[in-house]
Amino acid sequence: MSNKKLRVGIHGFGRIGRAVARINFERNAFELVAINDVNPDVDNLAYLLKYDSTYGRFKGEAKAEGNAIVINKDQRVHVFNADAPGSARWSDLGVDIVIDAAGRPVLPGELDRLKAQGVRHCIVTNETPLALPVKPVIVGVNHETVSVADFALSTVTCDANAFVPVMSLLQEKFGVDYGSLTTLHPWLGYQKLLDGRALPDSNPGHVPSTYVLGRSATQSLIPKTTSCIRASSLVLPWLEEAFVSVSYRVPTAIVSSADIVIKLSRPTDRATVIAAFEEAEKKQRYPVLCNSHEALVSVDFAGTECSAAVDHRWTSSRKAGQLKLILWYDNEWGYGSRVVDLVDHLAGLHG
């Protein structure tokens, strides 16, 4: 990691915002100086950081003190309660990077307001419209193309962070003609415990186009469309026409999976594919890809920092070039780890 720590503010202290904060407190990659959230209750924000039903207790001390959360008695993280990222007073604290983890579409005007405050970079933790001047970044694939001149960056989606590094490696080593992708994703906060009206997701004014997202998230596998291919094609454009996809929301709290079937341009055997992934894991700077050979289930990958764990128990190939892969990824911790990696990479660029 870089020796220089950038000053960071997090806008939106929900699942991803808190995961990024926890990961950074373990890795000490940057100096977290501010949080902005619509929740005005600082005690509640500190409580949610300290206790987590998925990841357990915070590995340190965290308590509310006035308009701040004090970490380990000596780190004071100021808490704003502005309704938009550009409205928080980041400039008062000399914030270098704002991580927009609110899960809502970023607005061009907000980017301008952040830039006017002297913020060097804004990292958006979701897919952004093509019309916006936001550079999509998948760490491990194209993060080295980022420059100090890139103000707005998007770490796209958790599914794309798992899928793109795998497809990039396969394309480089064997070529990819086409394929299919099925993702299994844990429930999200806007879903229902009991059947009811399909609620809008984090996108204001958006109403789900299918009633199934109003069904009980804890009782069924819920089929739905996925944005993974569209999001992935922002970094690897050839994927958009090469893949078909579908997704299921599954009744678990954490860890996603991807079931991929691919037609390789240059057929190869199972051992060669596994060797390619194991070589890639050894050479990578950040822990993007990892390999698993054990008999594990989804919960065993909770808290895993890699973007995609390739479960080679299920890796299989045929002479015609057909390849099947199963991936596991912690959709919060793995994704949050890449956000922290991107901040670290930016720190290195700024020296």
**Beta-bridge partner residues of 76:** 70
In this predicted structure, the answer to whether residue 259 has a pLDDT above a threshold of 60 is yes
**Tokens 């958790």, residue located:** 158
- The tokens of 246 are what? 């579908």
Q: How many domains does the chain have?
A: 2
Residue 318 lies inside a defined structural domain of this protein: yes
Instruction: Judge if 93 and 172 occupy the same domain.
Output: no
Instruction: Judge if 117 and 214 occupy the same domain.
Output: no
247: CATH: 3.30.360.10
Phi, psi of 20 (to 5 degrees): -60, -45
Residue 179 lies inside a defined structural domain of this protein: yes
Instruction: Calculate mean pLDDT across residues 289-312.
Output: 98
Residue 304 lies inside a defined structural domain of this protein: yes
Residue 59 lies inside a defined structural domain of this protein: yes
**Beta-bridge partner residues of 311:** 292
* Active-site pick, 122, 158, 228, 290: 158
Q: How confident is the model at residue 1 (pLDDT cuts 50, 70, 90)?
A: very low
Instruction: Judge if 325 and 176 occupy the same domain.
Output: yes
- Residue 57's identity, in one-letter code, is R
Summary mean pLDDT of the chain: 94
Residue 87 lies inside a defined structural domain of this protein: yes
- Residue 268's identity, in one-letter code, is T
117: CATH: 3.40.50.720
pTM: 0.95
Instruction: Judge if 127 and 171 occupy the same domain.
Output: no
Residue 323 lies inside a defined structural domain of this protein: yes
pLDDT tens across 48-59, in order?
999 999 999 999
Instruction: Judge if 115 and 168 occupy the same domain.
Output: no
Cα torsion angle, 172, 174, 175, 178, sign? negative
Instruction: Judge if 164 and 129 occupy the same domain.
Output: no
* Helix 15-27 with 333-350: angle, nearest 10 deg: 60
Pick left, alpha or beta for residue 205 (phi over 0 → left; psi -120 to 50 → alpha; otherwise beta).
Answer: left
Residue 51 lies inside a defined structural domain of this protein: yes
Residue 97 lies inside a defined structural domain of this protein: yes
Instruction: Judge if 124 and 171 occupy the same domain.
Output: no
SS3 assignment, position 216: strand
- pLDDT at res. 202: 55
How much of the chain exceeds pLDDT 70, in percent?
A: 95
- Which range marks the domain in which residue 221 is found? 159-331
**228 is annotated as an active-site residue:** no
Instruction: Judge if 276 and 171 occupy the same domain.
Output: yes
